[in-house]
Amino acid sequence: MSNKNYDLETLFKALADRTRLRVIHLIGDDEVCVCFFVEVLKTNQPKISRHLAYLRRAGLVSTRRDGKWMHYSLVEPPDEHAAKIFREVRECLASNPDMQRDKARFVKICGGAQIPAQLQKAPRPASLSA
């Protein structure tokens, strides 16, 4: 079933930015705290938050607050065609060498025994929790 009110232009704009694609790939099937994006992508929190807000407006991420921590997870668009495009983009990202390097860094930072000091109290993604 197709949602006639879904804004495809916003979807394509959301997918037209490299940082947002990197964020989409890092989230994957997890729920991720914004602080990990800052560390993995080596950029500042306001910039990451702006990209996440764009993805939220496009209906690609949902948020959950847990105290001071904001968690993000991917959601499929309600429009069947947009959802198919989103799935295809995610599959393509999974085979991209740059995205694979980001993911390896993410796993090392989030799942490693030597987590950076500024992230030690941050909630780790469920798939990487010890």
Show me where the domains of the chain are located: 8-110
Q: Is the pLDDT of residue 4 over 80?
A: no
CATH hierarchy code of domain 8-110: 1.10.10.10
pLDDT of residue 76: 94
The DSSP letter of residue 48 is H
Beta-carbon count within 10 A of 54 CB: 18
Q: How far apart are CA 39 and CA 45, in angstroms?
A: 9
- Record the pTM: 0.85
Average pLDDT of the residues of the chain? 86
Q: How many CB atoms lie within 10 A of CB 66?
A: 10
pLDDT of residue 66: 83
Look at 7-16, 59-68, 72-81, 118-127 and tell me which has the smallest mean pLDDT: 118-127
Q: What is the pLDDT of residue 122?
A: 63
